[in-house]
């Protein structure tokens, strides 16, 4: 297979936006501008595929000899999406990887969005060389999580869907960045929710490091200092690009045949 493993394209499909870029796999850095389009309302498969096409065409990377990784905000098992928190229910049990491969006419590597962000931070960021348990959380439309033990990903953790005993909604509906925006919370009020969430994760899982990703991680100085935890908590080095970089990194590894 004529794959150039020095660079790959990453596309990160989120509940609100679909972002993509060409990535330098040695440096773990973007080689192109970051292209972003809105996630189509309802996020049905055909519309999402069309939006991914637009991203690839805008980037000018439609030929199949550059590896392509696609990240998606759902549980991904054997190429199938198995949940749909912020996208259409059609994705539940859907052969998503094959759908994108057929639609784009090329091979892709397909995985959960938070998991690929975790991989990016292990290879090129805040989790590099960190032993023990690292939990990366993305605070965006939902809350995504990646669990990494001694640098190895434990895929498909869904710790944004923890339930608070006294409430009916998942924690992500209450503590994701979208909740802060929707309810117009101050940093202090939002941080109180995050305090509950991270303390709970800390109690359940005894991690060695928390990494905070998602778009809001660029404002981490507004809320991370407000949290009182035993576990160190740091922003993702690659901020909201971790998903793009991780998706690209995984695609090239697979393409090179050493996954
Ligand atoms: C989904 C996760 C995803 C996260 C962030 C959650 O609602 O269940 O699979 O990683 O949102 O997009």
CA distance 229 to 217: 18
Instruction: Report the separation in Å between the CA atom of 85 and the middle of ligand 1, taken as the mean of its atom positions.
Output: 7
The pLDDT assigned to 257 comes to 40
Cut 0.75: pTM above it: yes
CA distance 162 to 174: 11
CA distance 259 to 255: 8
Q: Between helices 113-124 and 242-255, what is the axis angle to 10°?
A: 80
The pLDDT assigned to 1 comes to 40
Instruction: Report the separation in Å between the CA atom of 86 and the middle of ligand 1, taken as the mean of its atom positions.
Output: 7
Q: Using one digit for the tens of pLDDT, what is the confidence trace for 96-125? A: 999 999 999 999 999 999 999 999 999 999
The pLDDT assigned to 2 comes to 32
Ligand 1 cavity residues, CB under 6 Å: 14-15, 73-75, 83, 85-86, 112-114, 138, 142, 144, 158, 160, 172
Instruction: Report the separation in Å between the CA atom of 113 and the middle of ligand 1, taken as the mean of its atom positions.
Output: 7
Which of 14, 94, 114, 136 is the pocket-test mutation for ligand 1 (most atoms within 8 Å of CB)?
A: 114
Could you give all domains of the chain from N- to C-terminal order, each with its CATH number? 7-117+241-258 (3.30.420.40), 129-236 (3.30.420.40)
What pLDDT tens digit does each residue of the chain (259 aa) get?
435 579 999 999 999 999 999 999 999 999 999 999 999 999 999 999 999 999 999 999 988 889 999 999 999 999 999 999 999 999 999 999 999 999 999 999 999 999 999 999 999 999 999 999 999 999 999 999 999 999 999 999 999 999 988 777 899 999 999 999 999 999 999 999 999 999 999 999 999 999 999 999 999 999 999 999 999 999 999 999 999 999 999 998 534 444 3
Q: Which residues of 211-232 are buried (b: 16+ CB within 10 A; e: fewer)?
A: bbbbbbbeebeebbeebeeebe
CA distance 55 to 51: 6
CA distance 187 to 34: 27
């Amino acid at each position: 297979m004529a794959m150039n493993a020095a660079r790959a394209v990453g596309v990160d499909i989120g509940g609100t936006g679909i972002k993509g870029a060409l990535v330098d796999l040695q440096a773990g850095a973007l080689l192109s501008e970051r292209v972003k389009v809105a996630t189509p309302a309802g996020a049905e498969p055909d519309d999402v595929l069309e939006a991914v096409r637009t991203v690839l065409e805008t980037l000018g990377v439609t030929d199949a000899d550059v590896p392509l990784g696609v990240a998606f905000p759902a549980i991904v098992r054997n190429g199938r999406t198995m949940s749909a928190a912020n996208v259409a229910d059609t994705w539940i049990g859907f052969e998503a990887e094959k759908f994108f491969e057929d639609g784009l006419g090329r091979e892709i590597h397909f995985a959960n969005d938070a998991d690929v962000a975790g991989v990016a931070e292990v290879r090129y960021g805040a989790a590099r060389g960190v032993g023990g348990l690292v939990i990366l959380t993305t605070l965006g439309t939902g809350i995504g999580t990646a669990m990494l033990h001694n640098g190895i990903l434990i895929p498909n953790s869904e710790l944004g869907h923890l339930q608070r005993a006294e409430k009916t909604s998942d924690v992500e509906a209450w503590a994701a960045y979208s909740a802060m925006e929707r309810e117009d919370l101050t940093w202090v009020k939002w941080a109180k929710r995050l305090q509950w969430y991270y303390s709970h994760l800390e109690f359940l899982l005894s991690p060695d490091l928390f990494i905070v990703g998602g778009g809001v991680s660029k404002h981490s100085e507004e809320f991370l200092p407000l949290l009182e935890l035993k576990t160190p908590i740091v922003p993702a080095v690659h901020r909201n690009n971790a998903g793009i970089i991780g998706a690209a990194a995984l695609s090239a590894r697979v393409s090179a045949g050493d996954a």
